[in-house]
């Protein structure tokens, strides 16, 4: 369980406190992790907490990995999608 003091401290450190709470509650409700403070901290570190929760839940459901690994994967900025959209820049420029 996350104490009120821990939740308040985390909310003070983010730009989107409501998204932080949504992220933490969604991940906690779907997985009931052993370390809820780790979930709170991971949601706090994410720039987009709602998308982070979606990523974590999606990866865990489809790849069947543990919650800690899914959260670490979603926070890892080195795995970027490249060349998703075609370029419309003419090649002669």
Q: Which residue has the tokens 């839940």?
A: 57
Q: What global pTM score does this model have?
A: 0.76
Amino acid 83: pLDDT: 63
Q: Which residues of 53-72 are buried (b: 16+ CB within 10 A; e: fewer)?
A: bebbbebbeeeeeebbebbe
Q: Which two tokens stand for residue 63?
A: 């790849």
Amino acid 87: pLDDT: 65
More confident residue, 42 or 93: 42
**Cα–Cα distance, 62 to 23 (Å, whole number):** 19
Contact criterion met (CB below 8 Å) for 49 and 21: no
**Average pLDDT of the chain to the nearest whole number:** 86
The residue extents of the domains of the chain are 4-75
Amino acid 1: pLDDT: 83
């Amino acid at each position: 369980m996350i104490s009120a003091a821990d939740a308040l401290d985390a909310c003070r450190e983010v730009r989107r406190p409501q998204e932080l709470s949504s992220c933490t509650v969604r991940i906690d409700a779907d997985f009931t992790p052993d370390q809820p403070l780790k979930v709170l901290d991971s949601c706090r570190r994410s720039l987009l907490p709602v998308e982070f929760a979606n990523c974590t839940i999606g990866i865990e459901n489809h790849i069947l990995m543990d919650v800690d690994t899914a959260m670490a994967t979603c926070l890892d900025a080195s795995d970027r999608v490249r060349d998703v959209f075609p370029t419309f820049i003419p090649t002669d420029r």
